[in-house]
Amino acid sequence: MPDLIIKPTNTSGNKVIIQDQAGGAVLTTADSGATLGNSTQDNITRLGTVTAGNLSHADIVYPAMAKVGTFTRNCNVSTATTVEVTGVGFQPSVVHFASSIQDGPSFSFGMSDGSTNLVFMTQYTTQNAGTPGANTANMCIYVHHAATKGTRASAAINSDGFTLTYVDIGSPDAVAVVTMWTAFR
């Protein structure tokens, strides 16, 4: 059977209207587009603009795309060499780190995807500017509290978080290193 084409006269405002047996408009065309009306929409996904109301519902579960946290590790040779962060709720694809000596001028910003660790900025004193890409030792955290004392860490990604492995630099004093992190799905 060839295509059945129904087209109104080519004049603005003319319509094609298909009605049901009761005379209700099921399909009405316009100059461009069409409107469905008075129809049972089995197996049709209808999208529209929500102009009022609330799209949230208690039964809808929105997946977490990121999670943030913080921890403090004392920097000295007698502290644990690893810090394990669990309970993230997903396996991160990348984790960003912002670390600093508590109440001190030293800080670093870094990231890890579990195989590549990178410090993209570190600063030791308030006199020097931040140094981009200052770390070439595959570390994601790198902070000093004196010229030859501090700590650095690399990360491994786990199924529900990450583990940081620390290496202290020199013989650091017992200063607190505060680390804020953001894990991304």
pLDDT tens column, 85-107 = 999 999 999 999 988 887 777 78
Range of the domain at 163: 66-184
Same domain, 167 and 101: yes
Q: Between residues 104 and 133, which one has the greater pLDDT?
A: 104
Same domain, 97 and 165: yes
Return the residue matching tokens 């996904």.
45
- Kindly write down the DSSP assignment for every residue of 33-71, as one continuous string: -EEE-S---TT--------SS----TT--PPP-EEEEEE
Same domain, 45 and 70: no
Which residue, among 80, 47, 45, has the nearest Cα to 151 in the 3D structure? 80
In a domain, residue 38? The reply is yes
CATH number at residue 167: 2.60.40
Same domain, 174 and 115: yes
Which residue, among 138, 162, 131, has the nearest Cα to 152 in the 3D structure? 138
User: Cα torsion for 50, 51, 53, 59, to the nearest 10°?
Assistant: 10
Same domain, 18 and 107: no
Same domain, 30 and 77: no
User: What tokens does 51 get?
Assistant: 């102009």
- Assess whether pLDDT exceeds 80 at residue 118: yes
Identify the three-state secondary structure at position 10.
coil
Which pLDDT value is given to residue 130?
A: 47
In a domain, residue 146? The reply is yes
Q: How large is the average pLDDT for residues 122-144?
A: 61
pLDDT tens column, 28-43 = 887 777 776 655 555 4
DSSP structure class, residue 129: P
What is the C-alpha to C-alpha distance for residues 77 and 42, in angstroms, rounded to an integer? 69
In a domain, residue 94? The reply is yes
In a domain, residue 160? The reply is yes
Number of domains composing the chain: 2
In a domain, residue 84? The reply is yes
Same domain, 151 and 105: yes
Same domain, 82 and 38: no
**Strand (E) or helix (H) holding 25:** strand 25-29
In a domain, residue 167? The reply is yes
